[in-house]
Amino acid sequence: MSHQNEWPLWEVFIRGQHGMSHRHVGSLHAADAEHAIRNARDVYTRRNEGVSIWVVEAEKITASSPSDKGPLFDPSRDKVYRHPTFYDIPDEVGKM
Amino acid sequence: MYAQMVKSTGKGVQSRNEMSPEDRAFQDRIDRGEKIEPKDYMPPSYRKTLIRQIGQHAHSEIVGQLPEGNWITRAPTLERKANLLAKVQDEAGHGLYLYCAAETLGVSRDELVEMLHSERMKYSSIFNYPTLTWADMGAVGWLVDGAAIMNQVPLQRTSYGPYARAMVRICKEESFHQRQGYHIMIRMAKEGTDDQKRMAQDALNRFWYPALMMFGPSDKDSVHSAQSMAWRIKINTNDELRQKFVDETVPQAEFLGLSIPDENLRWNEETGHYDFSEPDWSEFFDVISGNGPCNAERLSARRKAWEDGAWVRDAMLAHARKAQNKSKAAE
C-alpha cells in the first residue's frame, strides 16, 4: 500500500500555564505547519493545557540512537565534583 | 477491555532458555520495570502483538464515537448536548493518541485504517450494540467507560513507553466520561418519572452482559494472556478485571435503585467478592467475529466517512505541496 498521500507526521510541543518550557506531548498528522497547529489545539489542548504550541515535522528531528547511550552519557556519570554536595564546607561558614 | 482478543504468539510464555541473548536482555529490561522506547531493540513478536493491541484499542475509540454520536442531535437539553459532544470529541482524541503510539512501531496510519475497514483488525465488541434510548447514553458512560477505565488504569504502567504515555493522558480525561454517564442515570433512575426509571433499568439490562464481555474471554480460554503479561503489555487477567468491575458497579446500581439482571448475583462473604453469572460467550465470539447487531452498520459508517473525506485529505495535501513549491521557487 502506498502512503504517499498520507499527511506528514508532526511532533507537538506545548507550553503549559506556568511559565515552563515547551514539552513534547505527542504527535499528529497534518498537511502543513499551520494545519498542524490547528490540529494540535484540538487534539492536545481541549482542557486548557497550554498557552503556546510548537510543531515540528517529525522527519526533521535528529535523535541520538539507543546504541550511543554509553558513549554519550557514561562520561558524565563519574564526575561527582560537578555537584555541590561534593564540597564540604565547615558549618561555621554558614549557608552557602 | 478495549482490546479484547489480542493474538500474541499463541504458544504460551517463551522460557529463558528458548530466548536469544538479545531477547533475554530485552526481557530483563522489562522485568526491571524499564520502559521500551521506539528505537530500542524489541523482539518482532512483541512489536507485532503491540501493533495489534494498540491498533485495536485505537479503532475502539474511533468506532466508539458512533453509538453516542447517534444521540448528539437528540440530547434532551443543550447542556447534555455539550457534554456529549465533548465526550465524543475526547474519543476522537484518544483514538489519535493511540494511532500515533502504534505508528512509532513502524505501521502507518493508512495501513491501520485500511486493516480496520477490511476487517483484518478488530475493535471492541461493545460498540456493536445499538443505543436505543437516551438512557443508553447514561448506561454507556457509566458501564462502558467504567469498564474501559478499569482496564486502562493499569496500562499506564505498560512496558512500551509511547503506549503508557498515551494511557496516562486518556485516563486523566476519561473519568469525566463515566461520571457524566452516571449523572444521567441518577437523573433518570432516582429523580425521573416512572417511564424514565423503566428506561434506565432497560438500558442496564441490555448493557450489563456486553459490558462484562469487554474484559475479554474467561482466563481459561485466553491463550494469549500469559505472553502478553510477561511482556507487561497486559497487567491483569481478564477475570481479575471483570471481578473488580462487578464489585465496584453493584453498589452503584443499588444506589440508583436499579437491579443487575443476574439472579445468581450475590455477595460472597468468604471471598469478599460478588458471585455473578458469566456472559454468554457464544454471543461474544459471534459479535467479535462480525455478527453482532450493528457490526455492518458501524463498519459501513467508518468506510463512508473515510471515502467521503478523501477529497478533503487530497486537496489539503495538494494545497500544502503547491504552497511549498511556490515558496521554494521564490527563494
What are B19-73's pLDDT values in tens digits?
Answer: 899 999 999 999 999 999 999 999 999 999 999 999 999 999 999 999 999 899 9
CB within 8 Å: B316 and A31: yes
Chain B nearest-CA residue for A69: B40
- Tell me the percentage of chain B whose pLDDT exceeds 70: 99
SS3 B28: helix
The alpha-carbon gap from A81 to the nearest alpha carbon of chain B, in Å, equals: 28
Over chain A, what is the mean pLDDT?
Answer: 91
| Predicted confidence (pLDDT) at residue A2 exceeds the cutoff of 70 | no
According to the model, what pLDDT value does residue A3 have? 59
Residue B62's closest CA among B15, B96, B35?
B96
User: Of the candidates B89, B100, B114, which has its C-beta nearest A27's C-beta?
Assistant: B100
Output b/e per residue, B284-321; b: 16+ Cβ within 10 A.
beebbeeebebbeebbebbeeeeeeeeeebeeebeebe
Do the Cβ atoms of A31 and B317 come within 8 Å? yes
Three-state secondary-structure class, residue B3 = coil
Residue A4 lies in a domain: no
Query: With contact defined as beta carbons under 8 Å apart, do B9 and B45 qualify?
Result: yes
> Which pLDDT score, from 0 to 100, does residue B16 have?
84
Q: What is the mean pLDDT of residues B87-99?
A: 96
How far is the C-alpha of B262 from the C-alpha of B265, rounded, in Å?
5
B177-226 pLDDT tens trace: 999 999 999 999 999 999 999 999 999 999 999 999 999 999 888 777 88
HSE value, Cβ hemisphere, 13 Å, CA-based, for B244: 17
A60 touches B: beta carbon within 8 Å: no
H helix and E strand count, chain A: 2, 3
Domain of residue A30 covers: 9-93
- Mean pLDDT throughout B297-320? 96
Q: Is the pLDDT assigned to residue B246 strictly greater than 70? A: yes
- Cβ of B109 and A32 within 8 Å? no
Is B320's CB within 8 Å of A32's CB? yes
Q: Which amino acid is at A91?
A: D
Give chain B positions within 8 Å (CB) of A6.
Answer: 108-110
Cβ(B98)–Cβ(B174) below 8 Å: no
CB neighbourhood size of A16 (10 A): 16
Cβ burial, residue A92 (10 Å; 0-12/13-18/19+): exposed
Domain-located, residue A69: yes
A3 in a domain, yes or no? no
Cβ-based contacts of A70 with chain B (< 8 Å): none
Using the Cβ of B93 and the Cβ atoms of chain A, whether some distance falls under 8 Å is answered with yes
Q: What pLDDT sits at residue A4? A: 67
Interface check for B100 against chain A (CB to CB < 8 A): the answer is: yes
In a domain, A81, yes or no: yes
Residue A64 maps to which CATH number? 3.10.20.520
Q: How many domains does chain A have?
A: 1
Assign B228 to helix, strand or coil: helix
C-alpha cell at B65: 464515537
In a domain, A2, yes or no: no
3-state secondary structure of B278: coil
ipTM: 0.88
* Residues of chain A positioned with their CB less than 8 A from the CB of B314: 5
SS3 label, residue B124 = coil
As a whole number of angstroms, the longest Cα–Cα distance in chain B is: 79
pLDDT at B13 over 60: yes
> Is A27 within a domain?
yes
Long-range contacts of B251-258 (CB under 8 A, 24+ apart): B252/B142, B252/B182, B253/B204, B255/B190, B256/B185, B256/B186, B256/B189, B256/B190, B256/B200, B257/B189, B257/B190, B257/B197, B258/B185, B258/B189, B258/B200, B258/B201, B258/B204
Cβ neighbours, 10 Å, residue B86: 15
Neighbour count for residue B32 (Cβ, 10 Å): 7
DSSP A41-83: HHHH-TTS--SEEEEEEGGG-----GGGHHHHHGGGTT-GGGS
- A1 falls within a domain: no
